[in-house]
Chain A
Amino acid sequence: MKARAKEARHRIGLAVIGGVGATAAFPALAFASEGESGGISAILPDPLEFVPMLVIFIVLWAVLAKVGWPKFEAMLEKREETIKDSLEKSEQARIESERVLEEYKRQLEDAKAQAAQIVADAKKTGEAVKADITDKAQAEAATMIEKAHAAIEAEKKAAISDLQGSVADLSVAVASRLIGEDLSDEAHRKVIERYVNEAGSFNAN
């Protein structure tokens, strides 16, 4: 920016110097126009007008160079600084954004890894819980089956015991009735004698 301003100022200076030089080098052309109304005089400036204008131009140029141009240059420099700062800030912002992007990418990768780990852990825990529940269910089922078998066995034994008791009572009742009704006194005495001979001793008790 500074370089362009310097170049523009340099070009303006060359143009002014060129104009002044041409006017000084070809005064005859200026005077020639007084005698001829046509020809080259038509395009040559009138010195009476040209000199004041030149003076005014030089004064104006000097004033502008002295007063206006530094302000313009300061404004350009300020603008240049502003643009430069903006560029630097944008560059820093870009670098920062790239860093943040990288950070975000890294965090995203970490989050993905953590999510995958959580899913894996949950899956593993779920499998363990499933296995535990299955084992407990199987154990409970086995216990229930065992209890059921025990209950069935107990019921079976009770039923058999009841049946045996009934059979025993019936058998004894039948035997009692048969003995009471069918044995004569003589038969009873034979039984008594046999029992006495087969019975144990008083001293055995």
Chain B
Amino acid sequence: MRAGTASRLLANAAVWGYAFLILGPTLWVLSNAFKYKIDIITGATFAPVTWSNFEALLFSRQAHFLLNLLNSAIVGVVSTAIVIVCATMAAFTLTWLRVPSWVRWPLLGWALLFHMLPTLTFVGSWYLMYASVGLQGTYLAVILTHVVHNLPVALFLMISFVGALPKDLFEAARMDGCTYGQVFWRIAFPLVRGGMIAATALVFIFSWSDFAIALTLSSTSTMTAPVAIATFAQEYDIRYGEMAAGTILSIIPALGLILVGQSFIVRGLLAGAVK
């Protein structure tokens, strides 16, 4: 459209202003992670840099944040792997093969509905379920719940990616004598790898970011990073420095993903929103 210099400046000012609004607070928090508590409290902008917060967080005797980060990683990697495998196979079958209507529509409909309902309304039931089989607080409980929580998103994402493949490739494969499974492994899977990466990135972020499920279903030994961070804020003597340090550490995977795979994430978001 039109591009008067004044409107151009204004638009860029607005957008970059917002970008500053995003970076500013983040950088301020970052800075807090490196300050002594006294400097945080007095609001000193320039203060001696210290790693003490990180030390206290990760290595002190009462500290268990390293374990928490590890737990987040375990839960994230395992649940994401399970989700992507299940979702990709199901997406392929639902998109290209003949599935009876009484399976297809309830499955997709319920997945969509479940995705839109508040997670907290299920948590109580999940807790009871796991408790009754002795799984409360275990890795398995959190992993399984993450899996089922992210399955709808992954499913719809993969359906849109698989659906974007040309139909006649599959028909050619069938004429060449492939079974459904062979069509999937030899044709669909190699060609949908980009989409799978995008979905994996998003699902991992969702799992890493999860709070509600981990809060209620994990135990002290399986606590994930987000839950640990929240505990810093619960005490009377709020541990600002450690909270900030923990924040920084928790953002690292996300930032890493943006730097490395920005295009994938955007692809995933756009495809997901279209559904």
Partners in one complex: no
Interface residues of chain B, those whose CB is within 8 Å of chain A, are: none
Interface residues of chain A, those whose CB is within 8 Å of chain B, are: none
